[in-house]
Amino acid sequence: MTSDSGESGRAVTRPVAVVASTATTGPGHPAPPDPRLGGRPLRRVVFDEATIASRVRELGAEITDSYPDGELLVLGLLKGSVIFFSDVVRTIQRPLQIDFLIASSYGTGTESSGDVRLVYDPDTRLDGRHILVVEDIVDSGRTLIRLLDVIRRRRPRSLAVCALLHKRIPTALQEPVRFVGFDAPHEFLVGYGLDHAEDFRHLPYIGAI
């Protein structure tokens, strides 16, 4: 477990992954074959289904406490956040509305132009409302920075991010991610919405490949 301070100044404890050298469901226990993997190897299970469910409930309580009044709109950033998004919104014990965003950075060749285009721009009104953007994983944060700038131009009452995973890589984010599920190891992670070439999103756990 790690501790740091949230916006309120209170210490926030976050679970971290336990590194293992082989695929495991717990210390010293080999992971049984999973037919959802299609025979492809999984190095290890980083966060199992029960651990994720417990942390999602905690996040829902944190979010509930953080928004005692006002209109709350929760925006899921597709595709990676879809499973996490659907689980966490059901744990928030206050009125809210939901919508989705699809953002794309575009440019020429393999280089991003640094611009962000909203492939799907929600019709929902953003101005004057609390906006919570739900993301699957924060690594470089470049697309997220520009996406938040686009949303800020809609004049929300407040704007915050809830991320399932945070790699704690130095980024240019102007403010910390307010709600974080887990500190993530620097490995390629799949499952619970995260993919490799569109595979593995449906796994109920998060694993390293």
Over residues 111-153, the pLDDT tens digits come to: 444 566 666 667 788 999 999 999 999 887 777 888 888 899 9
Q: Are strands 29-30 and 24-26 parallel, antiparallel or unpaired?
A: antiparallel
pLDDT of residue 121: 65
Query: Which one has a higher pLDDT value, 172 or 99?
Result: 99
How many whole angstroms separate alpha carbon 71 and alpha carbon 157? Answer: 9
The catalytic residues are 139
Residue 97, strand partner residues: 73
Tokens of 160: 């915050």
Across all residues in the chain, what is the average pLDDT?
A: 81
Q: What is the pLDDT of residues 7-66, one digit of tens each?
A: 444 444 455 444 333 344 554 445 568 889 888 888 999 999 999 999 999 999 999 999
pLDDT of residue 115: 60
pLDDT of residue 150: 85
Other CB atoms within 10 A of residue 181 CB: 25
Whether the model clears a pTM of 0.85, i.e. scores above it, the answer is no
For 116, counting Cβ atoms within 10 Å of its Cβ (0-12 exposed, 13-18 middle, 19+ buried), the class is buried
Cβ proximity of 118 and 93 under 8 Å: no
Query: Which one has a higher pLDDT value, 42 or 73?
Result: 73
Q: In this prediction, what percent of the chain has a pLDDT beyond 70? A: 75
pLDDT of residue 32: 64
| Beta-strand runs (E) in the chain | 2-5, 11-14, 24-26, 29-30, 44-47, 72-77, 97-106, 115-120, 130-138, 158-166, 179-183, 189-190, 206-208
* CATH 1.10.10.10 given to domain 2-208: no
Q: How far apart are the first and last CA of the chain?
A: 23
Cβ proximity of 18 and 1 under 8 Å: no
pLDDT of residue 10: 44
DSSP string, 85-119: HHHHHTT--S--EEEEEEEEEE-STTS--SEEEEE
Q: What is the pLDDT of residues 85-96, one digit of tens each?
A: 999 999 999 999
